[in-house]
Structure 1
Amino acid sequence: MSSQPPRRRPSPGVYRRRRLVVLLALIAIIAVVVWLFVAQPWSSAAQSDADPKPTRTSSAAPSPSASTPTPSDSPTADAAATTEPGPLETAPPTCTRGDVTVEALTDQDEYGSGQNPQLSIRLTNTTDAACTINVGTTTQSFTITSGSDTWWRSTDCQTDPSDMIVTLDAGQSVESATPLTWDRTRSSVSTCDSESRPVAGGGGASYHLAVEIGGVASSQTKQFFLY
């Protein structure tokens, strides 16, 4: 039976070197851990990512050129805002007697018993230009005659006359808006409130209506008959 030679134990110097290596490794590990806790390199990296450096494009302050207008000595704005007055419109002239014609009108040529004539005026501008004329009741007159006898005047018992200035265009004709009714009685300034004024005769009697408006009288009368 063979016997193995006993294993040789390391010398004390080897043990000391091994212990020194282990001790140095442990010291290095401890130093690295301490450095990590003290230096905290990850904190600097996070702070650097969270706080980027400001740039010109991220500034919220408005630029002076965008918010404040630059004064200018140029009169362009004032000239654009100023409108030059146009030519003044002149009012049409007043119609003269030669500018207009006046015509007496009745709603019928013959009236039976109990029918009252409706009287109107037609006014025509015979010129090629507009003119103005007063067509109010202050300038209107209706007169009814039979032969040389004047039976009725609208001005005898007129109340509250008024003025009305209108413009007649060239060639324009206008008529009374509301005809005037003749009640077939004789008028006078002293019998306006009387209920027993004389009544015009019928039986085919002939009557004539003459009118005036704006100082212009009708050139002809309008004939009608009462029955």
Structure 2
Amino acid sequence: MSTNTPAGRQSPQVYRRRRIVVLIGLLAVIIAIVLIIVRPGSSQGGEGGAGASPSTEPTSAPETTSIPTEPTAADGDPCAPEKVVVEAITDKSSYEPGEQPQLSVTITNVGKNVCVLNAGTAAQVFTITSGTETYWTSTDCQVDAIDAEVSLTPGTPVSSSVPIIWDRTRSTPETCSGARETVPAGGASYHLAVTVDGFESAEQRQFLLY
């Protein structure tokens, strides 16, 4: 058998060597591409690594302190108008001939703190009207009026200890020492309003005289 290689054709060893060289070249190219992508030595999210991405965690906004626009109420402060409810009271809604209405007042603190007001007779004004006419006012002929500071506990009504008796007559400062005129009756409608230390009753109390 002849071992000579035909003219123009390389031996198998030569082809194998060429294939190995080509494979080595391809492997070198792949390694180079991987190194470019991975970039050894860089650390994503690692501490101190070159090219580390900045933190994306949200930072909390600084706390703000609200400034109160009104002073906070405290126990023992004077009562505020919106914290006091004054109610005019009569013992009946209608009175037969000869019966005299008994007038009183109830004060309620609707706030959250104990407040103070003057609930003495010197600070109380009872007024009886009918239509547009004023028939009687408690201060027209008042005697021995006193001041009395009262602490109102929230939600606890305070009422007159002794009612005022109305004798069904007209009053003026000029009629305190003489006889006074009797007001109309026969089913006439009257209204009672009360003011205590400048706080006025939200509603008037209606009653009838016969």
Cα distance, 1:175 vs structure 2: 0.5
Cα distance, 1:161 vs structure 2: 1.3
- Corresponding residue SS for 1:156: coil
Residue number in structure 2 paired with 1:201: 184
Cα distance, 1:130 vs structure 2: 0.6
Residue number in structure 1 paired with 2:120: 136
Deviations 1:41-95 (A, max 9, x none): xxxxxxxxxxxxxxxxxxxxxxxxxxxxxxxxxxxxxxxxxxxxxxxxx861010
Cα distance, 1:193 vs structure 2: 1.3
Residue number in structure 1 paired with 2:206: 223
Separation of aligned partners in 2, 1:171 and 1:91? 14
Mapping 1:71-110, distance limit 5 Å: 92-110=76-94
Separation of aligned partners in 1, 2:97 and 2:75? 49
Separation of aligned partners in 2, 1:206 and 1:164? 33
1:162 maps to which of 124, 143, 146 = 146
With normalisation by structure 2, the TM-score equals: 0.64
Once the two structures are overlaid, the 10-residue window that deviates more, 90-99 or 141-150, is 90-99
Cα distance, 1:224 vs structure 2: 0.1
| Contact 2:195/2:201 (8 A) holds in 1 | yes
- Count of equivalent residues: 137
Separation of aligned partners in 2, 1:218 and 1:110? 20
Separation of aligned partners in 2, 1:110 and 1:150? 19
Amino acid at match of 1:114: G
Residue number in structure 1 paired with 2:99: 115
- Corresponding residue SS for 1:98: helix
Separation of aligned partners in 2, 1:220 and 1:154? 18
Deviations 1:153-173 (A, max 9, x none): 000001121110011111111
Separation of aligned partners in 1, 2:112 and 2:174? 45
- The CA RMSD measured in Å over matched residues stands at 1.1
Residue number in structure 1 paired with 2:133: 149
1:214 aligns with 2:202: no
- Corresponding residue SS for 2:122: helix
Runs of 4 or more consecutive aligned structure 1 residues displaced over 3 Å after TM superposition: none
* Larger radius of gyration between Structure 1 and Structure 2: 1
| Contact 2:109/2:154 (8 A) holds in 1 | yes
Cα distance, 1:138 vs structure 2: 1.2
Query: Unaligned 5+ residue runs, structure 2?
Result: 1-73
| Contact 2:104/2:164 (8 A) holds in 1 | yes
| Contact 2:77/2:115 (8 A) holds in 1 | yes
Deviations 1:176-213 (A, max 9, x none): 00000100000010110112x11111110000000000
Separation of aligned partners in 2, 1:92 and 1:201? 45
Separation of aligned partners in 1, 2:147 and 2:181? 32
With normalisation by structure 1, the TM-score equals: 0.59
